[in-house]
Structure 1
Amino acid sequence: MSTAGLEIAAPAQKCDDVRCPFHGHVKVRGRLLTGRVVSTAGKSFVVIQMEYLHKVRKFGRSERRKSRLTAHLPGCIETHEGEMATIAECRPLSKTISFVVVQSRRSA
């Protein structure tokens, strides 16, 4: 079991997923992002929504924006809608998936 080059503890559960950064062959690199899980409808992927503030210079105010990313969900990590998840960038796993879930925790 590896830590996948992250400062995040590996999950206690084992899996045989080749796309798992802890037990498989996917190497993570690049960005670490945190967002809310908004959909777990797929068998092996989740949709993460991140909210941020964008400054509108013309009016001198900020507006709230959001973006959504799809991420692969390894078998050793369990997550549900509404929880906060940390995703790490990896090589493209499919047409729309270039991130993998590395940690999931209950939102406050």
Structure 2
Amino acid sequence: MTFMQLERIFLETGRKSDGRAFIAYLLDSFDAGVTDLDAESVEAETGLKKTNISAVAKKLSEANVIDILYLDTSVENSTLSALRNGRWSKPYYRLTPQILSLYRRT
């Protein structure tokens, strides 16, 4: 992936600045040693609304920019999984190796 390809993905989300802020926060967190971030953390640190985070995350996930993982809150000691369990699922976001490589983080 190139930066221009990533820019096109941001444009296709319909929320270019939200997408950029989202990725910037994920990169800063990765640099600080945190690879998986929940929606509440993203909302608190970026100022984005949860609905915008969800919409941008879905588009970025479809474009292989991020992975969306879920924590099943109905079970104790659950682990992050790609499988969603309805309303019991709490989304977490992780940059893909492709994006980490683009930003020279691997």
Shorter-chain TM-score bucket reads under 0.3
- Structure with bigger strand share is 1
- After TM superposition, the score normalised by the length of structure 2 is 0.23
Greater C-alpha Rg: 1
- Structure with bigger helix share is 2
